[in-house]
């Protein structure tokens, strides 16, 4: 009996181990993250552009022929320097019919001038006759040959003759001007290289500032209308940042907040400070065809090295300007940049990976929760007090401590008390 007992004990132990390992729950494979404590920042990430702060658009103040502009984009200019010149437009060419009509009008004008000259000769003769009659009647009145009323009639006739003479002279002037006008209509347009008639009638456009030519909108000699743009001037060393953001993000942006400028082409990041948030939004169609309400944000580049920010992201040094660095920074007007507008930051905050959070409860009583992994590798559901969040992490006010391990993206198999192990072990 004792021998049989010794024989069955090992068998029972082996069977017990087989049953234990065969029926015990298998650990659920999960991804594991860790709660850390460090700098935390919430940013609004959008693309924008660097642009010249004060842009001067030069337009033609009057219509005419714009002479060829010799300035090239990038050329430096001084204040009151000549930028362009406008000369009067040449007369248009005449076709056969228009030329025949203009010639007929010119001949009619010459005939009218000749007729007016003849009428002037008649009026001069009548006036001379009236003057002779007046002198004769004055002598006859003195000798008693006529009465005074007859002399008054002669004086009246002279006044009428002189008025007719003056009217005839005016008619001759009008006819002469009409002939000149008809003759001018016969002129063909002349070559623009023949500037003898227009050399003293050039309109000169001068620069209002000292700066650089940014864009040349008209290069060759051409006819321009009044108000048509010709050049754009500015100082590329005086740049600002312009970024458009969604209106729901704009409500959290305030003047004075920092902007981290990335992917602009330089070796290090730049920093800027929000100067203005526009009070009105505009509609912009996204790449997916969705209408979005967006707001313009304007910021100034920092020109001095600021103290290290609490986010731990090192700000750049001095922004190179055109006057400090002859080569410039490389940025120019309308160059693309990517900005991260810092709307919330803490120097040290307990934070958990954003993928570990899920909602617990429903309605207004729901709260954020995570599965914390205890030392025995069991998942434990923890309700946390979550604060601000960014793309990668969530600030934790209470519920977790630095160094805690949490389950990332928990699935349906992860429940309170379930044994877990890291995927890939």
The arrangement of strands across the sheet holding 222-224 comes to: 203-206, 82-87, 64-66, 222-224
Distance from C-alpha of 217 to C-alpha of 229, rounded to nearest angstrom: 7
Model pTM score: 0.63
Instruction: Specify whether domain 42-53+238-345 bears CATH 3.30.360.10.
Output: no
3-state DSSP call for residue 115?
helix
| DSSP code for 89 | P
Crossing angle of helices 148-184 and 96-143, in 10° steps, is 160
Residue-range domain boundaries for the chain: 26-40+350-422, 42-53+238-345, 56-90+205-234, 96-184
Beta-strand pair 28-34/420-422: parallel
26-40+350-422 matches 56-90+205-234 in fold? no
Instruction: Enter the CATH code of domain 26-40+350-422.
Output: 2.40.420.20
Q: Per-residue confidence of the chain (425 residues) as pLDDT tens digits?
A: 555 556 666 666 666 666 555 555 677 888 889 999 999 999 899 999 998 888 889 898 888 888 899 999 988 889 889 999 888 877 777 777 877 888 888 888 888 888 888 888 888 888 888 888 888 878 787 777 777 888 787 888 888 888 888 888 888 888 888 888 888 777 654 444 454 554 567 888 898 888 899 999 988 888 888 889 999 998 888 889 999 999 999 999 999 999 999 888 877 888 899 999 999 999 999 888 899 999 999 999 885 433 444 433 334 334 444 333 333 457 888 889 899 999 998 989 999 999 889 888 776 677 899 999 888 888 899 899 988 888 889 999 988 889 899 999 888 888 888 888 888 66
CATH architecture of 56-90+205-234: Beta Barrel (2.40)
Q: β-pairing, 229-234 with 211-216?
A: antiparallel
């Amino acid at each position: 009996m004792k021998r049989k007992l010794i024989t069955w004990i090992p068998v029972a132990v082996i069977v017990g181990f087989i049953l234990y390992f065969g029926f015990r729950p298998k650990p659920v494979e999960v991804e594991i993250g860790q709660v850390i404590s460090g700098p935390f920042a919430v940013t609004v990430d959008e693309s924008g552009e660097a642009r010249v702060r004060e842009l001067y658009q030069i337009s033609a103040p009057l219509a005419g022929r714009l002479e060829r502009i010799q300035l090239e984009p990038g050329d430096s200019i001084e204040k009151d320097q000549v930028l362009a010149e406008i000369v009067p437009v040449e007369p248009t060419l005449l076709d056969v019919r228009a030329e025949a009509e203009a010639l007929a009008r010119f001949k009619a004008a010459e005939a009218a001038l000749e007729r007016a000259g003849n009428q002037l000769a008649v009026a001069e003769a009548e006036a001379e006759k009236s003057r002779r009659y007046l002198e004769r009647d004055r002598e006859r009145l003195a000798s008693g040959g006529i009465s005074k009323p007859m002399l008054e009639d002669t004086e009246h006739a002279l006044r009428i003759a002189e008025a007719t003479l003056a009217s005839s002279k005016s008619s001759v002037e009008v006819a002469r001007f009409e002939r000149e006008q008809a003759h001018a209509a016969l002129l063909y347009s002349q070559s623009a290289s023949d500037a003898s008639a227009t050399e003293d009638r050039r309109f000169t456009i001068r620069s209002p500032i000292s700066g650089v030519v940014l864009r040349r909108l008209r290069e060759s000699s051409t006819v321009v209308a009044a108000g048509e743009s010709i050049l754009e001037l500015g100082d590329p060393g005086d740049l600002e940042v312009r970024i458009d953001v969604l209106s729901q993000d704009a409500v959290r942006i305030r003047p004075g907040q920092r902007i981290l400028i990335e992917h602009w082409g330089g070796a290090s990041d730049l920093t800027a400070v929000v100067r203005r948030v526009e009070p009105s939004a505009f509609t912009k169609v996204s790449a997916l065809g969705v209408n979005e309400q967006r707001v313009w944000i304007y910021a100034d580049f920092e020109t001095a090295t600021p103290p290290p920010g609490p986010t731990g992201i090192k700000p750049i040094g001095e922004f190179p300007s055109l006057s400090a660095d002859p080569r410039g920074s490389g940025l120019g007007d309308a160059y693309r940049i990517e900005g991260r507008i810092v709307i919330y930051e803490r120097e040290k905050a307990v934070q958990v990976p954003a993928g570990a959070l899920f909602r617990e409860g429903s309605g207004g009583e729901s709260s954020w929760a995570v599965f914390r992994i205890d030392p025995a590798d069991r998942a434990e559901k923890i309700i946390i007090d979550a604060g601000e969040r960014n793309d990668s992490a969530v600030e934790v006010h209470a519920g977790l401590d630095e160094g805690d391990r949490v389950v990332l993206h928990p699935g349906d198999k992860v429940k309170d008390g379930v044994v877990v192990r890291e995927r890939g072990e």
